[in-house]
A = this chain, B = another copy of it.
Amino acid sequence: MRLSEGVEAGLHCATALAQLEADAVLPASALAGFHGVSPSYLLKHLKALTHAGILESVSGPSGGYRLARPAGRITLLDVVVAIEGVKPAFRCAEIRQRGPLKLPASTYLKPCAINAAMLKAERAWRAALAATSIADIVREFVVEGDPRATAAACAFLAANRRLQPGERKGRTGS
């Protein structure tokens, strides 16, 4: 079982965008350069995040991406589901109903105990992902990260952001 690499890219992009001012966007090319990934690879995931209402795309020569809502209201689960989809990792194929023992459909009205237990464990995973927001991650980066990394990230964002004068405020923060 493996989460797609796009999850890591998506979480890092959301974390980077959470550090922009309210009136700024970052072009996809800068987000790709920032993380050392190819723009075409990243674009697929940025589109998925936009489709899920996590990012917002501003078009035009001074366009780019920004968070669609405050970072405190975007959880790790939101990003994981946007990239990976909503299907559970354990997908019951109902093998209890295969083979020579197959009984009438009315025998299998209750969910299989194995499926129920596996999905219960996944709910614990999802609950933990939902308990951490992108704002929490930014806070961790700032408080626990190396100051050199924080300074370099700030300088990169300042150099590559595109301001959208006269636009709404109060986008970042929790």
Contacts and interface: CB of A to CB of B under 8 A. Distances in A.
Interface of A: 1-5, 7-9, 11-12, 15, 33-37, 76, 84, 87, 89-93, 95-96, 98-104, 106-110, 113-114, 116-118, 120-129, 132, 136-137, 140-141, 144-146, 148-149, 152-153, 156
> Chain copies in the assembly?
2
A116 B107 CA distance: 44
A165 to B, nearest CB: 27
Contact of A113 (B84, B90, B144): B144
23 contacts: A1-B2, A1-B3, A1-B4, A1-B89, A8-B92, A12-B96, A12-B114, A15-B114, A35-B96, A36-B99, A76-B118, A101-B152, A103-B152, A104-B148, A107-B146, A107-B148, A110-B144, A110-B145, A110-B146, A114-B137, A121-B125, A122-B125, A124-B127
